[in-house]
Amino acid sequence: MLICNGSPRGEMSNSATIAKWFLKDQDKVILLMKGPKHQEYLDILAAYDHIVFIYPLYVDAMPGIVKAFFERVAIADGLMAGKKVSFIIHSGFPESVHLEVLERYHRILSKKLGFVLADTIVIPGSEGFRLMPPKQNRKKQQDVMKLMDQFRIDQPFDDHLVRRLAGKRQSNKMRNFIFSLLEKTGITNLYWNSNLKRNNAYNKRFDKPYTEL
């Protein structure tokens, strides 16, 4: 199986962490962040019949470098025809609604490139996966591993697992209310603020460098 990691952070990404959850010795990983290698990647793509794309949400869709790779693939007419493809998309937001447009896009892309779309696995709340101890995401890890095992042998995805990983489409009013209360205490910004302080940038956090220009 070929795993196409579409995160601009490459090996240091949450996408890479997710890939490690199900990676097997015979699998190959390519990093789409390496734009100059895209042409070379086409030859690798041609050699595999099961392909998984993993990438984070960037401004409500795929990162630009991933779209550029798709466009490159399209030029190599018929390269993806008949191949089995699945997608794992993730975002830091806790709701899956942010990923819906992208999930729909994969269906359009499958028609355009002629591949067989297995499914899209949606994982919200992924920010920090790479920093968390493995046991913290054990359930998600097991679910993804089971789904990828099904993908390898062309079984349809277990819909229950797909839905469990996607979680709630939108937060409910109570959760939003609690978040708004916690926001006033500063708890919701702890991760950002600790990083800003570590970088001696906390006092500049609200800077507007382009206001006076």
Partner 1 sequence: MRVCVLNGFDSEEMTVAQERKLEQELEVLNQKGDTVDYFKLRDRKIAYCLGCWDCWLKTPGECRIKDEQEDILKSFVKTDHLVFVSNVRLGFVTATLKKTMDRLIPNFLPYIRVYQNEFHHYPRYEKTPILHTRLIVDHTVERDEIDLIEDYFKRVALNFGSDLKSFKIIDGKGEEDYEFADM
Task: Tell me the closest approach of the beta carbon of residue 27 to partner 1, in angstroms.
Answer: 23
CB-CB neighbours of 158 under 10 Å: 13
Question: Looking at beta carbons only, is 39 or 176 nearer to partner 1?
Answer: 176
The yes or no reply on residue 27 touching partner 1 (CB under 8 A) is no
Question: 3-state DSSP call for residue 119?
Answer: strand
The tokens of 100 are what? 């819906």
Task: Tell me the closest approach of the beta carbon of residue 25 to partner 1, in angstroms.
Answer: 28
Question: Looking at beta carbons only, is 38 or 146 nearer to partner 1?
Answer: 38
Closest CA to 143 of 159, 155, 127: 159
**Residue ranges of the alpha helices (H) in 114-212?**
138-152, 159-166, 173-185, 190-198
CB-count exposure of residue 10 (10 Å: 0-12, 13-18, 19+): middle
- Cα-to-chain-centroid distance, residue 177: 28
Question: Looking at beta carbons only, is 97 or 162 nearer to partner 1?
Answer: 97
What does residue 29 show for φ and ψ, rounded to 5 degrees? -115, 135
The yes or no reply on residue 167 touching partner 1 (CB under 8 A) is no
DSSP letter string over 146-168?
HHHHHHHTTPPP-HHHHHHHH--
The yes or no reply on residue 7 touching partner 1 (CB under 8 A) is yes
- Of 35, 40, 128, 164, the one binding partner 1 (CB under 8 A) is 35
Q: Which 50-79 residues touch partner 1, going by CB under 8 A? A: 56, 58-65, 67-68, 70-71, 74
Question: Looking at beta carbons only, is 163 or 205 nearer to partner 1?
Answer: 205
Question: Looking at beta carbons only, is 45 or 161 nearer to partner 1?
Answer: 45
Binding site for partner 1 (CB under 8 A): 7-9, 13, 33, 35, 56, 58-65, 67-68, 70-71, 74, 93-95, 97-98, 101, 104-105, 108-109, 111-113, 170-171, 173, 176, 179-180, 183, 188-189, 192, 195-196, 199, 201, 204-211, 213
